[in-house]
Every structure is written in structure tokens, then in C-alpha cells.
């Protein structure tokens, strides 16, 4: 293809889809398997301790935070986990790695926990329940989501080692 200002040559080698998928899987594993900071399983572990503490304080300003958690934070988390599960299933099919399909199951369960959290926060806002009353339920759901995501990370690691 010729353009007066630019000459574009054709690609000399075809991209290797399996190589691209493996790089993407390694990047996904790196993003999920964090040891510290607000992202990945480290951020989830931190949130599973901090959010119930915030709810137990019964501060009136928590209502705005509940709305943000219900309509944005956990909605996004739920959708992201569904997308990760779809990617893992697609990669498992293309790379012939059955273990990756196994890794999709825990992340789907974590997605369901996030959906339950959204429902709890939404119902709390609608019914006017004190946030401190839902703290234990929220703590339990976050702990289970953390365990499922940690399980997913371990399964991805095992699949990539084979």
C-alpha cells in the first residue's frame, strides 16, 4: 500500500495465536495474583477486612458509599470476573488445556458472590436497614470471593506449568 507520506510494508511473519494467548494468560495471572496493593487478590483480601469495619461504624455518610458499591464497584467486579471466565474458556479451547476450563469455575462462583453483594447493598439502600446489620454477610461473601479467586489463580498457575 502506498501513500504519499507513508509506505506500509506487509507483515513478513504471521502472528502466532497460541503465543499471543499464552502472553495474555501470563499477564492475566500477574494482574490477578498480586501480593500487595489495591488490585487483584491482594486488594480483595484488604477489602474483605476493611469494608465490614466501615459498615459496622454506622456512619450516616456510608449510604453514599453503599450506592457506589452496589451500582458501580461490585457490578464492575462481577462483570470482570465473567469476562475472565469467558477468556479462560476460550484460551482452554484454543490451547487444548482442560485445566484452564477448571480455573473458570471458581471465578464464575466469585462473580456470583459479587452479584450477591450488589443485591445486599441495593436492598439495604432501598429498605433503610442499618449498614452494621449486613456487615457479617458482606464479610462472609468477600471472604468466599477471595478464596475462589485465589483458587482460580492456583489453577491457572498449574495449567501454565503443564
pLDDT at 113 over 90: yes
Return the pLDDT at 1. Answer: 47
- What is this structure's pTM? 0.83
* CA 55-69-76 angle, 5° bins: 145
Q: What is the pLDDT of residues 24-75, one digit of tens each?
A: 889 888 888 888 777 788 888 888 899 999 888 877 778 788 888 888 888 8
Question: Tell me: the pLDDT tens digits for 118-131?
Answer: 999 999 888 988 88
Amino acid at each position: 500500500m502506498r501513500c504519499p507520506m507513508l509506505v506500509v510494508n506487509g507483515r513478513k511473519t504471521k502472528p502466532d495465536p497460541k503465543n499471543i494467548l499464552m502472553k495474555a494468560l501470563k499477564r492475566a495471572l500477574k494482574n490477578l495474583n498480586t501480593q500487595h496493593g489495591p488490585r487483584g487478590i491482594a486488594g480483595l483480601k484488604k477489602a474483605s477486612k476493611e469494608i465490614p469495619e466501615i459498615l459496622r461504624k454506622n456512619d450516616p455518610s456510608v449510604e453514599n458509599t453503599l450506592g457506589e458499591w452496589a451500582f458501580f464497584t461490585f457490578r464492575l467486579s462481577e462483570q470482570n470476573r465473567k469476562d475472565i471466565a469467558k477468556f479462560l474458556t476460550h484460551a482452554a479451547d484454543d490451547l487444548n488445556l482442560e485445566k484452564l476450563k477448571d480455573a473458570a469455575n471458581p471465578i464464575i462462583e466469585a462473580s456470583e458472590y459479587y452479584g450477591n453483594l450488589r443485591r445486599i447493598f441495593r436492598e439495604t439502600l432501598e429498605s433503610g436497614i442499618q449498614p452494621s446489620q449486613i456487615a457479617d454477610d458482606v464479610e462472609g461473601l468477600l471472604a468466599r470471593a477471595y478464596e475462589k479467586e485465589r483458587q482460580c489463580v492456583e489453577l491457572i498457575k498449574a495449567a501454565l506449568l503443564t
